[in-house]
Amino acid sequence: MSTIRVGHLYPDYLNIYADRGNIAVLTRRAAWRGHELEVAPLGMRDPVTPGEHDLYYVGGGQDREQLLVAEDLVRKSEPLHEAVRGGAAVLAVCGGYQLLGRGYRGFHGEDMPGIGLLPLDTVAGERRMIGDVLIECELDPGEKRTVAGFENHAGRTRLDPGAEPLGRVLAGFGNDGEGGFEGCRAGRVIGTYLHGPLLPRNAWLADWLLAQALAHRLGTDESPALEPLPDELERSAHEVSAARARSRGGRFD
């Protein structure tokens, strides 16, 4: 049995649309395979120690909550960059995703600094992009899979030329409603707008993150293969969410 250590950034501020459920899914899927997930909340003024955590998680929040945590996150920037260079994985959702870029300008002109873990910038648009989303991504070479979730954001996120999106939009808006891509990925760091929560609908993505975290814990570059689980309910949840997204198409609300 291995203990997978998770640093949950700002759980008291960034936790809308049931994003905390992502931690619950990781905990159960780790336990079913004989591993323990040890989750440490990292709030305001709590230090980040490189090497201490295998996976960092940042949820979503309203602009007000993002503004409250942004300066503190910048103070954690250097150790977070060092942790990622050392092989730690990161999952950031919506507001957390925006702050992993270089910054986010809110609807009222608020400038929220980011930490530059992902090569992107975000500016709030006039109208929100809301609804179910389906994307196709390829985290492992040659293996295309779909990710289903729910988006509700005004941010228009632009990736740098050559940056790798998390996936190609099959239904929904994605990063900006125009470019046809959703999220961003840099090695073991993933940012996405997809709530829902994300991982109960996409069990394979939860397992991918667990494998990356285990690789860090074991000190290896190659992630270990995880024992398959009987995921009938998880597959059904994914299919229902994917069908809703396909029926929706894309529109501004």
Residue 184 appears among annotated catalytic residues: no
Q: At 146, which CATH number?
A: 3.40.50.880
Q: Are 65 and 43 in contact (CB under 8 A)?
A: no
Task: Indicate which residue of 8, 35, 53, 94 is catalytic.
Answer: 94
pLDDT at residue 249, rounded to an integer: 67
pLDDT at residue 120, rounded to an integer: 98
Q: Could you tell me if residue 12 is inside a domain?
A: yes
Q: What is the DSSP string of the chain?
A: --EEEEEEE-TTTS--TTTTHHHHHHHHHHHTTT-EEEEEEE-TT----TTS-SEEEE----HHHHHHHHHHHHHTHHHHHHHHHTT-EEEEETHHHHHHSSEEE-TT--EEE---SSSEEEEEEEEEEEEEEEEEEEEETTEEEEEEEEEEEEEEEEEPTT---SEEEEES-TTTSSSSEE-EEETTEEEE--BSSHHHH-HHHHHHHHHHHHHHHHT-SSPPPPPP---HHHHHHHHHHHHHHHHH-----
Q: Does the reported pTM lie above 0.85? A: yes
Per-residue pLDDT of the chain (253 residues; tens, 9 = 90+): 899 999 999 999 998 877 889 999 999 999 999 999 999 999 999 999 999 999 999 999 888 899 999 999 999 999 999 999 999 999 999 999 999 999 999 988 899 999 999 999 999 999 999 999 999 999 999 999 999 999 999 999 999 999 999 999 999 999 999 999 999 999 999 999 999 899 999 999 999 999 999 999 999 999 999 999 999 999 999 999 999 999 986 555 4
Task: Indicate which residue of 8, 35, 153, 195 is catalytic.
Answer: 195
pLDDT at residue 251, rounded to an integer: 55
Q: Are 40 and 8 in contact (CB under 8 A)?
A: yes
pLDDT at residue 108, rounded to an integer: 85
Q: Could you tell me if residue 149 is inside a domain?
A: yes
Number of structural domains in the chain: 1
- Would you state the structure tokens that stand for residue 53, as one six-digit string? 């955590």
Q: Could you tell me if residue 253 is inside a domain?
A: no
Q: Are 114 and 99 in contact (CB under 8 A)?
A: yes
Q: Could you tell me if residue 55 is inside a domain?
A: yes
- Classify residue 72 as exposed, middle or buried by CB count within 10 Å of its CB (0-12, 13-18, 19+): middle
Residue range of the domain that includes 142: 3-248
